[in-house]
Chains A and B, each alone.
Chain A
Amino acid sequence: MLSLMHFVILSVILFSIGIFGVLTRRNAIGILMSLELIFNAININMVAFSKFLTPDNIYGEIFTIFIITVATAESVLGLAIILAIYRMRQKIYADEMNLMKW
């Protein structure tokens, strides 16, 4: 029988894999992709809690739609910034971006 625990543990594992990616990737695009993993872990959590705890009002799923919207906008802007940095410096490695470091 599927329980809430299954989904929560799955989302925790996915979340921590995303954290690992954010912390270890050098490539800025890789960091953005790891962020997508984190957002998806949150989405699984939202929908699972919505299904098991408050099935009558589906606010969890509505919230997931807004999370997806904002995550998409964030990813588009992040990729645009990465492209602009690449134009300027020919590098997209996060540990070499020191333009604003004093």
Chain B
Amino acid sequence: MVELILFYFWAAIIIIAAIFTVISKNIYHSALWLGLTLFGVAGIFVLLNAYFLAGIQVLIYIGAVVVLTIFVITLTKEITGKLEKQHNKQIIPALISCLLCVFLIISAVLKTDWATRIIHTTAEDKTAKIGNLLLTDFVLPFEFASVLLLVALIGAIVIVSIDKENENA
């Protein structure tokens, strides 16, 4: 029962904050709402007994991605200036297509017979298991992920750094 109440609490936070992320007129407010959405997702991870992922979610998404987004927003736009229009003219078609998407997926989910496949288990902390798997079965993807992060790091620096010769040209 407590689980259900907590679920609806986090779900309400996620959905309301996500809607404001998308419709907010000020892109800076939108980034703050995004932080709240990601925090709600961390709460959902706790409900799903994925404590390690909840920690990662807060550390990486709220701590890095949202902060980085806010940095870029402040670098690219005058916060105090007049607000430009943030949405294009496709609102109605976009609304229709995303409602169709919801309808399609939910009807597919409701038609599937999950009851026979669900396995009930007791809640446990799976962090140690994740660590074990990452360094045994998944060690190759793990190393690839680190290389990918290195490439992204260097790539971001190269893209953003100013090339003096090209700037004058």
Chain B binds chain A:
yes
Interface residues of A (CB under 8 A from B): 1-10, 12-21, 23-27, 29-30, 32-34, 36-37, 40, 43-44, 47-48, 51-56, 58-59, 61-62, 64-66, 68-77, 79-84, 86-87, 92-93, 95
* Bound form: Cα–Cα A11–B160 in Å: 34
* Distance in Å: Cβ of A30 to nearest Cβ of chain B: 6
Say yes or no: is B22 at the interface (Cβ < 8 Å to chain A): yes
**Contact, CB under 8 Å: B98 / A16:** yes
* Bound form: Cα–Cα A48–B110 in Å: 16
Interface of B is mostly: helix
* Bound form: Cα–Cα A15–B98 in Å: 9
6 A-B pairs within 8 Å (CB atoms) are namely: A5-B110, A29-B27, A62-B130, A80-B160, A82-B72, A83-B76
Question: Which of B22, B45, B101 has the most A CB atoms < 10 Å from its CB?
Answer: B22
Residues of chain B with a CB closer than 8 A to A70's CB: 145, 148
Contact flag A34-B22 (CB < 8 Å), given A2-B4, A61-B50, A81-B159? yes
Residues of chain A with a CB closer than 8 A to B7's CB: 2, 6
* Bound form: Cα–Cα A12–B156 in Å: 32
Interface residues of B (CB under 8 A from A): 3-4, 7, 11, 14-15, 18-19, 21-22, 27, 30-31, 34, 37-38, 41, 44-45, 47-50, 52-53, 56-57, 60-61, 64-65, 68-69, 72-73, 75-77, 84-88, 90-91, 93-95, 97-99, 101-102, 105-106, 109-110, 114, 117-119, 121, 126, 129-130, 133-134, 138, 141, 145, 148-149, 151-153, 155-156, 159-160, 162
Residues of chain B with a CB closer than 8 A to A79's CB: 68-69, 72, 156
Residues of chain A with a CB closer than 8 A to B160's CB: 80, 83-84
Residues of chain A with a CB closer than 8 A to B110's CB: 5
**Contact, CB under 8 Å: A55 / B41:** no
Contact flag A36-B88 (CB < 8 Å), given A29-B73, A47-B50, A80-B156? no
* Bound form: Cα–Cα A19–B134 in Å: 32
**Contact, CB under 8 Å: A36 / B152:** no
